[in-house]
């Protein structure tokens, strides 16, 4: 099985034969050709895909299966699929036909915006707890209308209102999806949890309780014990699901929270470092620059201009 990891939306679009994005951090594409007009796309060999952005997709799937973490999506016509950054999707035997629609949103496009907090509350981005969303014909028409509204705004000449309007449409899509999932859950059983999601959830619980600041960042061995696994098994499972080691997953979580903390008013680099469990601000700054490409102070200065 071939694995592809896309660092940017542009890379993903090139591979998926989609148009070049007009914005490097946001993309939408809607193909509303009829089944008779559109070519059927078939994927014979299993393929694993992972990327660095959120994806909201609508697919007309005729056959095949998709696996997200350890969960196999039950795909049928009129399927919506939501994926989060750095989580692997495996597809095999896929056959799709128009209508298809996709929205890709890089984390940096929404960083510091209210929707960043809200998007983490939508559990359907977590493949550990949900199936793909199967729409009724009425729901399908509504969702496609919203996708088309996003696409229309996307192709307008950008101005000071463009980003807010785009994200308001996206938020409306997500709100409706939340509603449709509640309808679906009356008939469908929630999927089984994944190692990546459990691992991240444990980190979030430790961080939100203040344990990072008091006790330092949890060690892999401690998290593995909480998950009733050996540290070696946990690392192998994380590598298989996300393509990254346990330490790399911890660093990703730390850097994501660091970016949020650094954007808070009056937050210093030292305060951020200690809140995240680093022994010294210097070590935090070195790791942040290595992972993000900017020093913490440069990151704060860059975003203060936006």
What is the band of 49 on the pLDDT scale with cuts at 50, 70, 90? confident
Higher-confidence position of 194 and 127? 194
d(Cα 186, Cα 143) in Å, to the nearest integer?
A: 20
- Lowest-confidence range among 93-102, 198-207, 265-274? 93-102
Averaged pLDDT for residues 3-8? 84
Q: What is the pLDDT of residue 192?
A: 34
- pLDDT of 68 > 70? The answer is no
Cα–chain center distance at 72: 17
* Residue 172 preceded by cis peptide, ω within 30: no
> Residue 165: phi, psi to the nearest 5?
-65, -45
Sign of the C-alpha dihedral computed for residues 17, 19, 20 and 25 taken in this order:
negative
CA distances from 221 to 199, 229, 230 (A): 12, 9, 7
Q: What is the pLDDT of residue 170?
A: 96
Higher-confidence position of 159 and 45? 159
CB 9 within 8 A of CB 53: yes
Torsion of CA 266, 283, 6, 75, to 10 degrees: -80
Q: Give residue-wise pLDDT tens across range 250-294.
A: 999 999 999 999 999 889 999 999 999 999 999 999 999 999 999
Q: H or E segment at 102? A: strand 89-106
Averaged pLDDT for residues 190-197? 60
Q: What is the pLDDT of residue 79?
A: 83
Strands 26-31 and 79-83 come out as unpaired
Q: Which of 4, 8, 26, 10 is nearest to 103 (CA)?
A: 26
Higher-confidence position of 286 and 183? 286
Q: What is the pLDDT of residue 186?
A: 55
Q: What is the pLDDT of residue 215?
A: 92
What global pTM score does this model have? 0.60
Q: What is the pLDDT of residue 228?
A: 78
- pLDDT of 72 > 80? The answer is no
What is the band of 235 on the pLDDT scale with cuts at 50, 70, 90? confident
What is the band of 234 on the pLDDT scale with cuts at 50, 70, 90? confident
d(Cα 284, Cα 274) in Å, to the nearest integer?
A: 9
DSSP state of 125: G
- pLDDT of 124 > 50? The answer is yes
- pLDDT of 187 > 80? The answer is no
């Amino acid at each position: 099985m071939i694995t592809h990891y896309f660092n940017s939306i542009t890379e993903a679009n090139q591979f998926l034969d989609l148009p070049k994005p007009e914005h490097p951090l946001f993309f939408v594409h809607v193909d509303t050709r009829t089944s008779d007009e559109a070519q059927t796309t078939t994927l014979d060999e299993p393929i694993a895909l992972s990327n660095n952005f959120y994806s909201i997709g609508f697919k007309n799937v005729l056959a095949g299966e998709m696996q997200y973490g350890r969960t196999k999506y039950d795909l049928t016509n009129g399927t919506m699929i939501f994926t989060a950054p750095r989580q692997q999707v495996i597809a095999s035997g896929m056959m799709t036909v128009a209508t298809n629609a996709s929205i890709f949103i890089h984390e940096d496009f929404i960083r510091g915006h209210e929707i960043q907090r809200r998007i983490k509350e939508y559990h359907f981005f977590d493949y550990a707890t949900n199936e793909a969303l199967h729409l009724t014909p009425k729901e399908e028409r509504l969702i496609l209308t919203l996708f088309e509204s996003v696409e229309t705004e996307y192709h307008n000449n950008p101005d000071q209102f463009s980003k807010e309007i785009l994200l308001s449409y996206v938020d409306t899509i997500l709100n409706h999806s939340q509603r449709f999932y509640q309808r679906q859950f009356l008939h469908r059983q929630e999927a089984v949890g994944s190692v990546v999601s459990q691992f991240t959830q444990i980190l979030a619980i430790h961080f939100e309780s203040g344990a990072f600041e008091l006790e330092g960042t949890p060690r892999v061995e401690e998290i593995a014990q909480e998950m009733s696994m050996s540290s070696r098994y946990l690392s192998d499972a994380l590598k298989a699901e996300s393509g990254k080691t346990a330490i790399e997953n911890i660093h990703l979580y730390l850097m994501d929270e660091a970016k949020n903390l650094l954007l808070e008013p009056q937050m210093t680099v030292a305060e951020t470092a200690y809140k995240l469990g680093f022994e010294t601000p210097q070590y935090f700054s070195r790791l942040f620059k290595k992972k993000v490409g900017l020093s913490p102070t440069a990151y704060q200065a860059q975003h203060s201009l936006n």
